[in-house]
A = this chain, B = another copy of it.
């Protein structure tokens, strides 16, 4: 495969994704090919750093990224993981063009397809169908975010952990416990004790 073929192969998962929400015309497919750029990030590399205006909308082709905030004490709070076929971005910073207080970095070597703010506006203007597609896409994100918030205000840590195991089954064995704890909003020590309890009750049943 030459470089061009590699590029095309990488973009396919995104085309599939869009087609699933709403089938694209050949012209729209061409626009996706020309406006989304593949990029590789190495493990631990920043995709976006706080202080900057977030300028790229990222679609993960392979690997895993995280979106997180670092508080005054230096503790990390993870808002989102994104593995294959997920979107990740600081949406507030991206749209309001204001400096972000969130970071995005790579938990594994990760390939993304990214579109800049400028090119996304081009896409919306020249292919209005993408307004509809991105509306649906964000609606889906909104619904899952709302579910997570509901869990957070209503359920104890143990229940949140089990729920996480179900929702992120495909991802669980790729993530260190510390990252999961930070996502759940509990300490790694306490998560360890929860897991221990689970192991014991499983042994008995």
Contact surface of A with B, Cβ cutoff 8 Å: 69, 71, 75, 77, 79, 91-92, 95, 124, 128, 131-132, 134-136, 138-139, 141-143, 145-150, 152-154, 183-185
Contacts and interface: CB of A to CB of B under 8 A. Distances in A.
A91 B142 contact: yes
A71 B154 CA distance: 8
Grouping DSSP codes into helix (H, G, I), strand (E, B) and loop, the A interface class, with mixed when no group exceeds half, is helix
Pick from A77, A154, A183 the residue with the most CB of B within 10 Å: A154
Given A79-B146, A92-B146, A131-B131, 14 more contacts: A69-B150, A69-B154, A77-B150, A79-B150, A91-B139, A91-B142, A91-B143, A92-B143, A95-B136, A124-B132, A128-B128, A128-B131, A135-B135, A141-B142
Nearest to A134: B135
B154 A75 contact: yes
B152 A149 contact: yes
Contacts of A91: 139, 142-143, 146
A184 B146 CA distance: 14
A154 B185 contact: yes
A146 B77 CA distance: 12
A128 B127 CA distance: 12
Contacts of A143: 91-92, 95
Contacts of A141: 142
Contacts of A149: 79, 145, 148-149, 152
A29 to B, nearest CB: 20
A6 B175 CA distance: 58
A75 B185 CA distance: 22
A183 B150 CA distance: 10
A25 B142 CA distance: 29
